[in-house]
Amino acid sequence: MNQEEQTTQQRILQAAKEEFLRLGFQGASLRSIVKAAGVTTGALYGYYSDKNALFDALVREAAETLYEIYLRAHEEFEALPPERQVSEMVQSAQAGVWACFEYIYVHFDIFKLLICHAEGTSYEHYLHRLAEIEEKSSYSFFGCMEETGHTVPFISKDLNHMLASAYLSGFFEIVAHDMPKKEAQEYVRQLTDFFSAGWKNLLGLS
Residue 157 counted as domain residue: yes
Tell me, yes or no, whether 12 and 103 share the same domain: no
Tell me, yes or no, whether 116 and 21 share the same domain: no
Is the distance from CB of 138 to CB of 164 less than 8 angstroms?
yes
Residue 126 counted as domain residue: yes
More confident residue, 1 or 28: 28
Share of the chain above pLDDT 70, in %: 99
Residue 116 counted as domain residue: yes
∠ CA 170-173-177, nearest 5°, is 160
Tell me, yes or no, whether 173 and 72 share the same domain: yes
Residue 72 counted as domain residue: yes
Tell me, yes or no, whether 77 and 129 share the same domain: yes
pLDDT band at 88 (very low <50, low <70, confident <90, very high): confident
Tell me, yes or no, whether 33 and 106 share the same domain: no
Residue 150 counted as domain residue: yes
Residue 195 counted as domain residue: yes
The H or E element spanning position 24 is helix 3-27
Nearest CA to 201 among 167, 157, 193?
193
Tell me, yes or no, whether 104 and 186 share the same domain: yes
> What confidence tens digit (pLDDT) does each residue in 29-54 have?
999 999 999 999 999 999 999 999 99
Beta strands in the chain (DSSP E): none
Tell me, yes or no, whether 165 and 73 share the same domain: yes
Q: In terms of residue numbers, what domain contains 31?
A: 1-48
Q: What is the mean pLDDT of residues 189-199?
A: 94
Tell me, yes or no, whether 119 and 190 share the same domain: yes
Number of domains in the chain: 2
Whole-angstrom Cα distance, residue 102 to residue 128? Answer: 21
Q: What is the CATH number of the domain that holds 36?
A: 1.10.10.60
Tell me, yes or no, whether 142 and 198 share the same domain: yes
Question: Which pLDDT score is estimated for 1?
Answer: 59
Share of the chain above pLDDT 90, in %: 90
Question: Which pLDDT score is estimated for 116?
Answer: 97
Tell me, yes or no, whether 77 and 179 share the same domain: yes
How far is the first Cα of the chain from the last one, in angstroms, to the nearest whole number? 58
Question: Which pLDDT score is estimated for 90?
Answer: 77
Q: What is the mean pLDDT of the chain?
A: 94
Question: Which pLDDT score is estimated for 95?
Answer: 78
Residue 53 counted as domain residue: no
Question: Which pLDDT score is estimated for 195?
Answer: 94
> What confidence tens digit (pLDDT) does each residue in 100-158 have?
999 999 999 999 999 999 999 999 999 999 999 999 999 999 999 999 999 999 999 99
Tell me, yes or no, whether 89 and 182 share the same domain: yes
Tell me, yes or no, whether 181 and 105 share the same domain: yes
DSSP string, 42-85: HHHHHH-SSHHHHHHHHHHHHHHHHHHHHHHHHHHHHTS-HHHH
Residue 99 counted as domain residue: yes
CA dist list (Å): 180 to 36, 118, 141, 174, 183: 29, 22, 34, 8, 5
Assess whether pLDDT exceeds 80 at residue 2.
no
Picking from 48, 70, 86, the residue at the C-terminal end of a domain is 48
